[in-house]
Chain A
Amino acid sequence: MIANFGFGVLVVSWVVTLYSVFAASFSNTKGLAVLVRNLGGRSKLLGVSEMPRSRLADWLEKRSDPQNAAAMVESARRAMLLTWPLLTLTAGILIYLLTHNHYEVKFVYEVTSRSMPTYLKITAWWGGQSGSLLFWSWLMSAFASLVTLRKWDRDREFLPWVIVVACITIAFFVGMNIFFENPFAQFYETFNGVDAYTFQPANSTLVTPADGRGLNPLLRHPGMVIHPPMLYLGFVSFVIPYAFAIAALITGRTDDRWIRLTRRWALWAWLFLSFGLVLGSRWAYDVLGWGGFWGWDPVEIAAFMPWLTGTAFLHSVMIQEKRGMLKHWNMLLIILTYSLVIFGTFLTRSGVLSSVHAFAQSAIGPFFFGFIGLSLITSVALIFYRWSDLRSETQMTSMLSREALFLLNNLLFMSILVVCFWGVIYPLISELFTGAKVTVGPPFYERATAPIFASLMFLMGVAPLSAWGHSTVKTLGRAMWKSILGAAAITVLIYLTYTHNIGALIGFFIVALVILVTIYEYLRGAVARQRSQSENIFSALWTLTGRNRRRYGGYIIHISMMLMAIGIIGIEVFQTETQGTLAQGQSLNIAGYEVRFKEIASWDNQPAGVNYTRSVVDIYKDGKYLGQLTPRIDYYFDSQQTMTIPGNRSTFKDDLYILLVDWEPVTSTGATFKVYVNPLVNWLWLGSLLFLAGVIIAAWPDKEVEGVAVKVRARAQQPSGSAAD
């Protein structure tokens, strides 16, 4: 009964969303008429005949009564604002079912069990396919409501079209839930046996299992509880800049207004997506039990691809804001990001490419694919429609100018995207054309992306020193030579004390260079300020950051990326591992560490439904006792799955990461351990925290922004030589 009610509300939400799309589209019938008429010559190519087109345009024009239009927009807005309460009610019903053990509902049966604590039952909402699609729509409707509630009057011309784009996206996801992945489907027993149905079949009885299967234990980890919402927040927030871009294309306001309006959305989207990726990596490191954090799994790559285009977009929009260039490219980047966001959700959820993440699989693939194709084609067609309006306002003057280097940065990001996309689809292509399946694993991605990542890092060192409009080798050299010398000295030191590995040395040189350049650049500004304002250096740094948050937030992000790079170089180049079966008192030796097996115990925790097998090992480094670690195996009764929790001793020098191997016999007298030494990996997590701080600084609301929004092109015409963002 409650489940049926939930499904009813879901259907109503869908109808309201569709109505909103309809009302918002037809509120601007005059604009539509112009659009239809202008399609003129272009449509002939597509074989669309003249007559119905002009008749449609006439009909639309007749309806373009301004009062009527305003009422329609208002109606669309109210309908849109209704979707969030409706979807919240739907979600509330689902959460009620999840927390009250309604195992007659298939989704509840699949992701919860009686032994799970309440908070996990709630977060199980996004632990399965149909629930996470609903979660997606719910977040999307919240964000769309936020956009239309704030600054409605200011953005009146864009917002009807923003509503159209947002509501089409919501309608698509809610439609997926209604037609393919109903979270409210219930078990009924018919002559054919027990199956889940949306509506009760004739001559059937409702079946309520005594207990659910329970959430996959891997998904019960706190990292996994937060990781999907973070990624989805990132995915969904990127829809907003896309919606504004499409609104700009349709309305013909192709200046950078849409970019200024959505700059903060894009930054927050990027923050969420980045943090979602980091949390996912941390989760993998903590529970997947293979000693690493990034396995180039198709689903990881699916979340990484919109991050790549989003990062390129964040850099490239600055060129449009400063110089009025690259308008086509920015449009294309945000369109691509949107498509990749949908593609990312599709990859995780369709099961087309099965991977460790693809816990849920179903037949919704073709529809996702159709939606991505349709939205991509329509969006790109709109760019062509507005092609001449999007011409650059200024020209580039130097290959070493900031804008030229940003373009190079875009090329590198796109190159990584190409490698990733190719890696993901290559197995499918191979199977399609040759019939032979292949695996595209880490060696391919590492070999193909390493030089591109290195170039990107180097660019991070150079670009902040170049000026908008113009830079020369001489000016850049003058600004960089001290940092280059410093980085070289550090590299020599690393060579003498740490490693002779050429790849790692190149990596460390670039890391040192970028950090030195960035700190030098930062300090130069602060010292200048300190001199002229007689402030102390700290308040000079503080005010400098406050005056140009995006620039200095960006610098902090660059430094954080370098810290992360240290961790990545560490694990990629220097990771060592060993495995062995030990009796009590025996040891494994690796990289100066001695891991001595002390004892093991196993016990049930009945209320939690888990059996723990926990070993205790003593750790020595060069003969010195360092302490104990307790790697363990958790076996979950409901889902009948195990989880290996490593014992990890983490320092900035290295991590000693010990796994109790769950595929070999584990007894009180002997057990198999797999031990990794992961040098420098902690820098990755430190970098990610600094990164968070950097993005928050860059995205922090700024009073000036609204004023900036109305200045249209004036600043782009400024003379060259200004390096400030």
Chain B
Amino acid sequence: MQARITFHFLLFTLFVAGLWVTPVYAQEPTPSDDDVNRIAKQLYCPVCESTPLDVCPTEACRQWRDLIRTMLTEGKSEAEIKQYFVAQYGDRVLAEPPNRLASYLIPAIAILLGALFLARGFQMWIKPSTAEAAATSAEPQQPVDPYIARIEEELKKQK
């Protein structure tokens, strides 16, 4: 954090003093910012939790992005670069746990149990009573749309 503050302070001092830092012009360096961000988007540094690497403003994350750029220049593939960060910092750099089975299985089981519970509930609950069964069988003969009938009924009540 301190480094970042110092960095910004330096930046603004330079700016105000008119000592322009020479920018890297958009000559489409290879690899481009977009190439770097495509991979950075999928990574998280251990410090800035919940902030993906492509938008993290800290100095450490900037260095990581530079590292990705260097590795891309060396011709490394996306998988190789991600693997490098995992080897260095552990699975937490990835946007989701690498063991998908473990991360999806538990909620899937819980949801399935809920669904089974509900299905069992339906089985237990759905026992049409005689009156309701009669209402059901009477329904097809109804000449008027039940919805219209209901509206009419409401209007009668209102009068």
Contacts and interface: CB of A to CB of B under 8 A. Distances in A.
A640 interface: yes
Contacts of B25: 581-583, 586, 670
Contacts of A427: 92
A427 B111 CA distance: 20
B90 A437 contact: yes
Interface in A402-453: 404, 407-408, 411, 414-415, 418-419, 422, 426-427, 430, 436-444, 448
Contact of B111 (A399, A415, A664, A724): A415
Interface stretch (A87-95, A244-252, A290-298): A290-298
B23 A440 contact: no
Contacts of A354: 49
B136 A397 contact: yes
A674 B32 CA distance: 13
A581 B33 contact: yes
The size bracket of the interface on B is 35 or more
B151 A396 contact: no
Given A295-B50, A395-B125, A720-B132, A663 B57 contact: yes
Nearest to B126: A396
Contact of B150 (A295, A579, A723): A723
Nearest to A611: B12
A408 B118 contact: yes
Contact of A441 (B11, B15, B44, B110): B44
A715 interface: no
Interface string B142-154: 0000111011101
A666 interface: yes
Contact of A642 (B46, B57, B131): B57
B83 interface: no
A649 interface: no
A397 B107 contact: no
A439 B11 contact: no
B72 interface: no
A635 B23 contact: no
Contacts of A422: 103, 106-107, 110
Interface in B107-157: 107, 110-111, 114-115, 118, 121-122, 125-129, 131-132, 135-136, 139, 146-148, 150-152, 154-155
Nearest to A299: B50
A665 B21 contact: yes
Nearest to A446: B96
Nearest to A722: B150
Interface in A557-611: 577-583, 586, 588, 602, 611
B88 interface: no
Contacts of A707: none
A626 interface: no
B103 A426 contact: yes
Contacts of A581: 23-26, 33
A436 B90 contact: yes
A291 B34 CA distance: 15
B124 to A, nearest CB: 9
Contacts of B50: 295, 297-298, 355-356, 441
Interface residues of A, number: 84
Interface in A294-322: 295, 297-298
A528 B5 CA distance: 67
A443 B115 contact: no
A356 B51 contact: yes
Contacts of B121: 407
Given A418-B107, A438-B97, A547-B154, A395 B49 contact: no
Interface in A509-535: 524-525, 528-529, 532-533
Contacts of B92: 427, 436-439
Contacts of B22: 670
Nearest to A404: B122
B57 A441 contact: no
A115 interface: no
A723 B147 contact: yes
Contacts of B49: 354-356, 439
A724 B157 CA distance: 14
B26 A582 contact: yes
Interface in A691-725: 719-724
A662 interface: yes
Contacts of A419: 107, 111
A711 to B, nearest CB: 15
Nearest to A640: B5
B55 A289 contact: yes
A549 interface: no
A669 B24 CA distance: 10
Nearest to B109: A418
Given A408-B118, A581-B33, A586-B25, A524 B11 contact: no
Looking at A399, A578, A720, the one whose CB has the most chain B CB atoms below 10 A away is A720
A467 interface: yes
Contacts of B67: none
A472 B103 CA distance: 38
A651 interface: no
Contact of A397 (B44, B106, B132): B132
Nearest to A353: B49
B37 A444 contact: no
A396 B125 contact: yes
Nearest to B19: A667
A479 B97 CA distance: 45
Contact of A437 (B91, B115, B135): B91
